[in-house]
Chain A
Amino acid sequence: MSDETLLVVRDLTTTFATGGGDLTAVNHVSFDLARNETLGIVGESGSGKTVLSRTIMGLQPRVNTTVTGSSIIDGFEVVGASENDKRTIWGTEVAMVFQDPMTSLNPVMRIGKQIDEALRVRLGMSRKDAKARAIELLELVGIPSPIERYNAYPGQLSGGMRQRVVIAIALACSPKLLMADEPTTGLDVTIQAQILNLLDELKERLKMSVILVTHDLGVVATRTSRIVVMYAGRIVETGTTREVFHHHRMPYTRALLESSPKVSNKSHTRLVTIPGRPPNLLNLSPGCSFAPRCKYATDQCHTERPELRPSIEPGHTFACWNPLPVNSEATLP
């Protein structure tokens, strides 16, 4: 592992014991993340991207959950670590920005206090220093008149403002890795761009790595250097953003790209959808999980599961028996 690598994920598997049997939400996922890199994790709802991002930082539910494999953040093995040990890296090594800013702030605590907490408890700052730093952070994330806002309750702020506060809290202890789990899904489109630009800018300024979990390919297209495409808990294609957008080999990636609406389309163009539904994770076929919805599927696809294999560009891998030809192009969203 080179010094440039911040996060190493190997064979990470998360299994939930449910009434209907064991459900493997994340299945043998492996990837690396370099320092100061932005990685996008994309996939449909239920593809395991949120569970993956939470398992990476050791945030899986306490009960009925088994995690195997390895997730090493800056030399700290998260899998198998006790809650107390994980607490030493939460906040300082890795922090999280949540999906819905309406529920990720404590409604009965002043926002300033919520930022203070981390500073005082984790960094042992004095009350006065913590307040000064909290106001600095509010300013950093672009909140106007931060001194007055310090005393505001979350209910007094708009969604975009709240998400900025959530980001300020996440940044409080200067984490090296920021997990952003659909950070813009709960926001207006105009605010979405602002928040994403803010994350980009902060990443550069604070030299963080960012993992951007989203189902919106438009979000990852310009803001990530690499993409991991997930389906039914597994990585089905991964590579540089450019590579995945222009030379994807996996039909699922193509289907995802085609189903995002394009501004260049004429009005009233029907949206392209992927036929069928994501598979039932309790009852996966022995073959490729995408085969039932795939128009290129052959008998082999239904009986034998394809492993990730390299494409032409180094670092670009995909899992498919009948990959698209190398020069296939899909229009960028």
Chain B
Amino acid sequence: MSSSPNLIVPNVSTLGVKEEPGQPLGLFFWICVFWIGLNLFGAIFANVLPLQNPLYENFNAINAAPGLHHLFGTDDLGRDILARVVYGSRVSITVGLGSILIGYGIGAPLGMLAAYRRGRFDAILTTVMYLLLAFPAIIATIAVLSFWTPRSLLKIIVVIGIASIPLVYRVIRTATLSVATKDYVIAAKVQGATDRRILMKELLPNIAPIALSFFLIGVATIIVLEGALAFLGLSVNPPTPSWGNMINEARTVLSQNIWLALFPSLALCLFLIALNFIGDRVRAHFDVAENKL
């Protein structure tokens, strides 16, 4: 057998180099990504998509069941549910993304700085944040939104965004703390790296997976919160659709029209499952311990 010796000759190019295992993301992950992408696409291009006017009240088709003309049926005012679900995703997604961006914009830099600098700065800031955390965010947002009228999308985003700052702060601070004590951060320091460099090059890339994962889960949480506020009538004013206020409207006509409750709930539910799953998968994918590197 002339070819057999070749089998035991190690591949020179990989000698001494371990293959990176990296947990595979899996098919379901990509289905979830596709689903989120589809929702985002719908939210952005709702105007140009061949959808009916979400505000047009067709009194000839009230509480219609799903059919050819109205794929998801119509509500108690004869409005097309499909169009309203798609337009409704705009509110949910805008609030979800906008608020968490405010939370990260303020909470993340503070959390990283506090964990890196420690000392009095950290002690004071952390105490303040924990005090804020002790106050239930939902009550606070309900209180503020009840009095801060007229309500607008921007106000809702700002209020929820501010409420999310302590949460983001805590997650980022803890993540940074565990990285900041690693030898490679000290190693960078004794090579004369500046604080700014250490924060940007050593700490940030290493907390990025956790930050991204919590970002996605944060979006999901805030969408639920917006749904709850809309259900209580504290989100955008009707007739502008949002998933939350559609479910609220459906409550009164539940016995005649199951579809009005079903489709927005389903949209909300699937969107959240997809977000949470992606968030979790991303974390596991980058988690060195779980990969047994």
Q: How far is the CB of A90 from the nearest CB of chain B, in Å?
A: 5
Identify the stretch in A106-114, A234-242, A261-269 within 8 Å (CB) of chain B at 4 or more residues: A106-114
* Chain A residues within an 8 Å CB radius of B187: 96, 98, 104-105, 166, 169
Q: How far is the CB of B199 from the nearest CB of chain A, in Å?
A: 13
Identify the stretch in B13-21, B27-35, B39-47, B79-87 within 8 Å (CB) of chain A at 4 or more residues: B13-21
A interface majority secondary structure: loop
Contact mask A146-159 → B, CB, 8 Å, 1/0? 00100011011110
Q: How far is the CB of B92 from the nearest CB of chain A, in Å?
A: 33
Is B151 part of the binding interface, using a Cβ–Cβ cutoff of 8 Å?
A: no
Q: How far is the CB of B215 from the nearest CB of chain A, in Å?
A: 18
Contact B205 A99 (CB under 8 A): no
Select which of A63, A91, A161 is within 8 A of B191 by beta carbon.
A91
- Nearest 5 CB-CB pairs, A to B? A104-B183, A91-B192, A118-B191, A91-B191, A98-B183
Residue among B184, B189, B208 with the highest chain A CB neighbour number at 10 A: B184
* Chain B residues within an 8 Å CB radius of A59: 186, 189-190
Q: For residues 163 through 192 of chain B, which have their beta carbon under 8 Å from a beta carbon of chain A?
A: 182-184, 186-192
Q: For residues 28 through 84 of chain A, which have their beta carbon under 8 Å from a beta carbon of chain B?
A: 57, 59, 62-63
Q: How far is the CB of B112 from the nearest CB of chain A, in Å?
A: 16
CA distance A48 to B293 in the complex (A): 32
CA distance A148 to B205 in the complex (A): 23
Is A121 part of the binding interface, using a Cβ–Cβ cutoff of 8 Å?
A: yes
28 contacts between A and B (CB under 8 A): A57-B190, A59-B190, A90-B191, A90-B192, A96-B187, A98-B183, A99-B183, A100-B183, A103-B182, A103-B183, A104-B182, A104-B183, A104-B187, A106-B188, A106-B205, A107-B288, A108-B208, A117-B191, A118-B191, A118-B192, A122-B191, A122-B192, A144-B16, A152-B17, A156-B20, A157-B18, A169-B187, A172-B191
Q: For residues 159 through 177 of chain A, which have their beta carbon under 8 Å from a beta carbon of chain B?
A: 161, 166, 169-170, 172-173
Select which of A62, A90, A107, A157 is within 8 A of B190 by beta carbon.
A90
Q: Which B residues have a C-beta under 8 Å from some C-beta of A?
A: 13, 15-18, 20, 117-119, 182-184, 186-194, 197, 201-202, 205-206, 208, 288, 293
Contact B183 A117 (CB under 8 A): no
Select which of B17, B186, B193, B288 is within 8 A of A157 by beta carbon.
B17
Size of A's binding interface in residues, CB under 8 A? 40
CA distance A90 to B119 in the complex (A): 23
* Chain A residues within an 8 Å CB radius of B206: 106-108
Q: How far is the CB of B83 from the nearest CB of chain A, in Å?
A: 45
Closest to B14 in A: A156
Closest to A94 in B: B190
* Chain B residues within an 8 Å CB radius of A166: 187
Contact B118 A62 (CB under 8 A): yes
* Chain B residues within an 8 Å CB radius of A148: 13
CA distance A108 to B183 in the complex (A): 14
Is A137 part of the binding interface, using a Cβ–Cβ cutoff of 8 Å?
A: no
* Chain A residues within an 8 Å CB radius of B197: 117, 121
Contact A117 B188 (CB under 8 A): yes
Q: How far is the CB of A187 from the nearest CB of chain B, in Å?
A: 15
Q: How far is the CB of A71 from the nearest CB of chain B, in Å?
A: 14
Contact B118 A95 (CB under 8 A): no
* Chain B residues within an 8 Å CB radius of A92: 192
* Chain A residues within an 8 Å CB radius of B208: 108
Closest to B15 in A: A144
Select which of A88, A96, A98, A161 is within 8 A of B16 by beta carbon.
A161
Contact B20 A63 (CB under 8 A): no
CA distance A156 to B15 in the complex (A): 10
Q: How far is the CB of A166 from the nearest CB of chain B, in Å?
A: 7
* Chain B residues within an 8 Å CB radius of A172: 191
Is A127 part of the binding interface, using a Cβ–Cβ cutoff of 8 Å?
A: no
Contact B202 A106 (CB under 8 A): yes
Contact A173 B191 (CB under 8 A): yes
Is A309 part of the binding interface, using a Cβ–Cβ cutoff of 8 Å?
A: no
* Chain A residues within an 8 Å CB radius of B18: 155-158
* Chain A residues within an 8 Å CB radius of B192: 87-88, 90-92, 118, 121-122, 173
Q: How far is the CB of B210 from the nearest CB of chain A, in Å?
A: 13
CA distance A240 to B221 in the complex (A): 66
Q: How far is the CB of B190 from the nearest CB of chain A, in Å?
A: 5
* Chain B residues within an 8 Å CB radius of A107: 184, 206, 288
CA distance A115 to B70 in the complex (A): 63
